[in-house]
Structure 1
Amino acid sequence: MFSDAFGTDSFLLLTALLLFSGVFVAKFSSRWGIPALILFILVGMLFGSDGLGIVYFSDAGTAQTIGIFALVIILFEGGLHTKWDTVRAVAVPSLSLATFGVLLTSLMVGLASYLLFDFTLLESLLFGAIVGSTDAAAVFAALKERNIKAKMGATLEAESGTNDPMAVFLTLSLIELITTEGTSVWFLIPTFFLQMGLGIIIGIILGKIASFSINRIKLDSSALYPLLSVAFALATYGVTAFVGGSGFLGVYVAALVIGNSELTYRYSIFQFNEGFAWMAQILMFVILGLLVFPGELFSAPIMLNGLLLSIVLIVIARPIAVFLSLIKMNYSVKEKLFISWAGLRGAVPIVLATFPIVEGLENSQALFNLVFFVVLTSALVQGSTISLVAKKMKLVGPKKDVPHHSIELISMGNAKAEMIQYQTNQESAVVGQKLRDVSFPNRANISAIIRDNEVITPYGETEIHAGDFLYILVEDKHKEDLKKTLEKRVKRSKAKNKEKGAYF
């Protein structure tokens, strides 16, 4: 690996430089309007042998392992933050896009590559399968702080979180068809349903076990609870894959279960996993950038062919697949066009493109370079214009209010108490009331209010404003009563505020 070429000190320094580069790149990506993954990949290329020549890295197997590990962490973090009430409303269309849509996209892109280039039919279909799915890392990052309408964001996030199993299944099945004589396509079909079923079932079971364990096990340090959650994420992938299920689907389902459960140390777990997911994302894309050789990637044949395939994917295959997948579902033409445009490709196709290399398939390097170029094109063209397209199509929702204050959200495990964050809005019944007039359950006290990023010390005469972040200290046994009180007070606007209400 890397340490073979460097001493330990040099390896650690190089790792620090890569992380520094990734962190500063992430800071400026939104300002420049360029998706972070593009800049992470460019950092890898810069450090690689065709750049500054600091690192020579060509181990596709190691890149594949790192990529799968990072994707597990990213999927887990995305699932933790996904509200079930939001996803439930778009579950059917999202699953249709994640299965039927991926299949249609793969077939159309595969047939196009067969007609345009000198690939066999199976190699062409393999290429289509590799680029057929949208990417969770790219989609989660692109939508995180953009004010896209809730329905659109939920559909895209649920699709990207659940479509990896179809892409992985198609890729591995086609590799098996290419490498193993006598393999039957019809035998592979029930395998897909088995993988999906096992992924869902094991994900639900381990998600419930994880939630129960986090709440009931008393650990010596609160810092161990986030690590316990990560252990469950990795275990879910490993167990599900071991029994023949879809590990990625299992991880996403488990994260949904955990994220929508009552959790001790909830905020510590969420904050740790968010930071860990950023680190995994930086590491993954930098490694993938190191793996590619720009001299080969930006050669005239790869660029020309990759551009043609990108046009087929973005302009033809993806829109057709979206429109057919969403027939007779409650989506307007504008919404379907936006979903088509926001179907970003990212790490998953690149990681899947390493599988043919590891298996030693003919033309595997050409496939990898084409996939890489298509991903760069998709991320650069589509990823940098999502907000603009949403605005032009009038699919922009309310501005996302993200607290940037420094109050530490804590669960006091031994004291059996927790600090709850709740954001008010124009429809909240408590807005306009003074604290002394609001009836909270016993043992529930507002400890602080954040208004316009400033801390306000609450007292009886303090009036609650729309957009305030309330921090309420409550004993665990009264937490449900507080939740019911807050939900009751916003009942009339529940449909509008599911995503903006309390974070329990």
Structure 2
Amino acid sequence: MSALFTAHASLLFGSALALVGIMSSLLASRFGVPILLVFLGVGILAGENGLGVHFENYQLTYMVGSAALAIILFDGGLRTRMATVRAVLAPAGALASAGVVITAGLTGVVAAVLLRLGWVEGLLVGAIVASTDAAVVFFLLRTGGLQLRRRVGGVLEVESGANDPFAVLLTVMLVTVLSGASFAPGALVLRVLEEGSLGLIIGLAGGFGLVGLINRVSLPSGLHPAFVVTAALVIFALTQTLGASGFLAAYVAGLVFGNRPVRAYGAVISFHDTATWLCQIVLFTLLGLLVTPSHVMPLVLPAVAVAAFLIAIGRPVAVFACLTPFRYSRAEMAFVSWVGLRGGVSIFLATIPLLVGLPRGELFFNVAFVVVVVSLIVQGWTISFAARRAGVALRDPAPEVKRIDIDLPGQLHEELVGYPVRDPSPATRHRALPSWVKPVLVVRGGKVLDPMEAGNLRPGDYGYFLAPTPRIPRLDRFFAVDGTVSDRDTIPEFPFDASLTAGAVADLYGLTIDEGERAMSIADLFADRLDGAPQEGDRLDFGDAMLVAHGVVADRVHLAGLLLEATAEDEEPPPATWSEAAGRRARKQWRRLRQRARRPAA
């Protein structure tokens, strides 16, 4: 009976811990604290120096961490458009390979000096913390509501999804060397290429196979999302078993699945929203349980110094070396450097030396823990501010709306979607729906009406529409509730042919633009800034105004509109968190003091 009691008590404790983590995320969002840091803190508080839970099961942590990261990487690929991958494949590939090696080498040298380690041990520290954590990047960008310009956001998404395999391979090789084996440099490079290539092939085959199965097998209602996430784990585990990179395979499989017509796509996306949340909670709580603060304290100062070097020098050097040949601006490269967040992958990799029994295994784990905490606090807390300062955040991001997705068996190209009609939104101003949208029904006052009976949409209605799957995000704007939507939509557009040069349009309206863009046509400007894949309604900053894409045919803009909205757009948006508001007040006070200091004495 005592065994049953222990099992039930463990289940109670684990579920209660997860519940506390979920509830604490509300507090974290209110004060702007990186949510993943909260989950990590919950695990530490429950651990050996907190509530006294003794947890040292590194094998379980490795297995759970592997599964969680596989699901998160699959989800990252699921949400990445293939056009984005094609546009940034070369720079992202350079960052994911050469960038990891440069970061690991530089950081490893510094770690060896600061921590008084051998050179191979120092390089192992560098390899463990070298990769940008896809889980953290995807998670913080999504939960923070931050939307980046396609060129910058794309390179971050693809790099963070593809660099984990290189960090894993480097870590495993260095652990093997420290365990007594030896590797020739040529053999190491060949092994990396073999594992990466096989992971890519299995990921492609698994992704296309999953698409074929989900579209042909008739599953009971509601099982499609569970089938997809389980298949992602199978692809990952199979690839790892064959000695290849399962993380790369999971990301590539998600990329294939997310860019093909599939059944129940909306249900799969919604399910993965929940799955990735739970994976983050479980992963970071387990990692927090493994940490013993009393063992970490003696290493805090050198570990913080390693983190500072990584953030300020190691990562920026790698980013500037890899992205300079691809014509990224200094501001863009500085932002990509800053968003090199470290997270669960680094702590997860740090469990490998403990699993194989390296003499200083706990040191690697504790240093990785400190680096991750510093990265989450310093970089995770300032990601929105850095995006605005670098000018890479979209001034007119895609809105968040409440949408109901209904799968239509028998076809793959259209979905039935429903929206609550709320005010203010373009839908309440009786605007005409796009021609590719077919109204199906309207629910008003508890009654179901056909579109002819309902007439114009009213606040409080629920509208259901048939629309092509790729265009649904564009329909979201029609039902977006945003205080700036009504102001922005009432500003008239000045239309013109997109074959006109940017310089001619700028001179006509008295706008100042970059000299290098003056000779370009407006169509070429859209293609250049949006990596050759502009879409209807895309917007670009144009001096103090904004360009809007219209008449897009075969990825080419033929008509454009100009929004002269400098005053409205230049106003600073309201602070999202308490910490952001405090930061703004401090900056305003500093500007006042500087202005007073510059005034001539009376």
TM-score (norm 2): 0.72
Q: In structure 2, what is the equivalent of residue 410 of structure 1?
A: 406
Cα deviations by residue, 1:419-459 (Å, 9 ceiling, x for unpaired): 14799xxxx9xx98535xx6558xx4344699xxxx99955
CA 1:180–1:150: 2 relative to 1, 3 Å:
same
Q: Is the 8 A contact 1:80 1:256 kept in 2?
A: yes
Q: In structure 2, what is the equivalent of residue 62 of structure 1?
A: 60
Structure 2 residue corresponding to 1:112, chosen from 85, 110, 115: 110
Q: In structure 2, what is the equivalent of residue 18 of structure 1?
A: 17
Q: Is the 8 A contact 2:430 2:456 kept in 1?
A: no
Name the stretch that deviates more: 248-257 or 109-118.
109-118
Aligned-pair CA distance for 1:164: 0.4
Distance 1:241 1:138 in 2: 22
Q: Is the 8 A contact 2:236 2:250 kept in 1?
A: yes
Q: Which amino acid aligns with 2:439?
A: N
Q: In structure 1, what is the equivalent of residue 293 of structure 2?
A: 294
Distance 1:498 1:87 in 2: 21
CA 1:295–1:498: 2 relative to 1, 3 Å:
farther
Aligned-pair CA distance for 1:377: 0.3
2:425 aligned with 1:386: no
CA 1:284–1:360: 2 relative to 1, 3 Å:
same
Q: Percent identity?
A: 36
Q: In structure 2, what is the equivalent of residue 370 of structure 1?
A: 367
Q: Is the 8 A contact 1:448 1:472 kept in 2?
A: no
Count of paired positions: 469
**Bigger Cα Rg:** 2
Cα deviations by residue, 1:306-334 (Å, 9 ceiling, x for unpaired): 11101110011100000001121121001
CA 1:363–1:384: 2 relative to 1, 3 Å:
same
Name the stretch that deviates more: 180-189 or 384-393.
180-189
Aligned-pair CA distance for 1:274: 1.4
- Note the 1:38-437 alignment, pairs <5 A: 38-53=37-52, 55-144=53-142, 145-219=145-219, 221-297=220-296, 299=297, 301-405=298-402, 407-413=403-409, 418-420=415-417, 434=432
Aligned-pair CA distance for 1:138: 0.8
Q: In structure 2, what is the equivalent of residue 7 of structure 1?
A: 6
Q: In structure 2, what is the equivalent of residue 495 of structure 1?
A: 534
Q: Secondary structure at the match of 1:42?
A: helix
Q: Is the 8 A contact 1:86 1:499 kept in 2?
A: no
Q: Secondary structure at the match of 1:181?
A: coil
CA 1:498–1:168: 2 relative to 1, 3 Å:
farther
Aligned-pair CA distance for 1:28: 2.9
Q: In structure 2, what is the equivalent of residue 473 of structure 1?
A: 466
Aligned-pair CA distance for 1:52: 1.8
Q: Which amino acid aligns with 1:48?
A: G
Distance 1:4 1:46 in 2: 25
Q: Is the 8 A contact 2:80 2:258 kept in 1?
A: yes
Aligned-pair CA distance for 1:120: 1.0
Distance 2:436 2:324 in 1: 47
Q: Which amino acid aligns with 2:239?
A: T
Q: Is the 8 A contact 2:404 2:418 kept in 1?
A: no
Q: Is the 8 A contact 2:176 2:182 kept in 1?
A: no
Q: Which amino acid aligns with 1:94?
A: A
Aligned-pair CA distance for 1:396: 1.9
- The CA RMSD measured in Å over matched residues stands at 3.3
Q: Which runs of 5+ in 1 are unaligned?
A: none
CA 1:215–1:15: 2 relative to 1, 3 Å:
same
Q: Is the 8 A contact 2:404 2:417 kept in 1?
A: no
CA 1:449–1:157: 2 relative to 1, 3 Å:
farther
Larger RCO, structure (CA 8 Å, separation 6 or more): 1
Cα deviations by residue, 1:201-224 (Å, 9 ceiling, x for unpaired): 1111110110111111111x2211
Q: Secondary structure at the match of 1:398?
A: coil
CA 1:481–1:335: 2 relative to 1, 3 Å:
closer
Distance 1:61 1:336 in 2: 38
Q: Secondary structure at the match of 1:434?
A: coil
Aligned-pair CA distance for 1:153: 1.9
CA 1:67–1:440: 2 relative to 1, 3 Å:
closer
Distance 1:203 1:422 in 2: 35
Distance 2:334 2:165 in 1: 24
Distance 1:331 1:15 in 2: 46
Q: Secondary structure at the match of 1:418?
A: strand
Q: Is the 8 A contact 2:71 2:229 kept in 1?
A: yes
Q: Secondary structure at the match of 2:405?
A: coil
Q: Secondary structure at the match of 2:342?
A: coil
Q: Is the 8 A contact 1:434 1:462 kept in 2?
A: no
Aligned-pair CA distance for 1:151: 2.3
CA 1:336–1:352: 2 relative to 1, 3 Å:
same
Q: Secondary structure at the match of 1:397?
A: coil
Aligned-pair CA distance for 1:181: 3.3
Aligned-pair CA distance for 1:462: 3.2
Q: Which amino acid aligns with 1:106?
A: A
Distance 1:67 1:178 in 2: 23
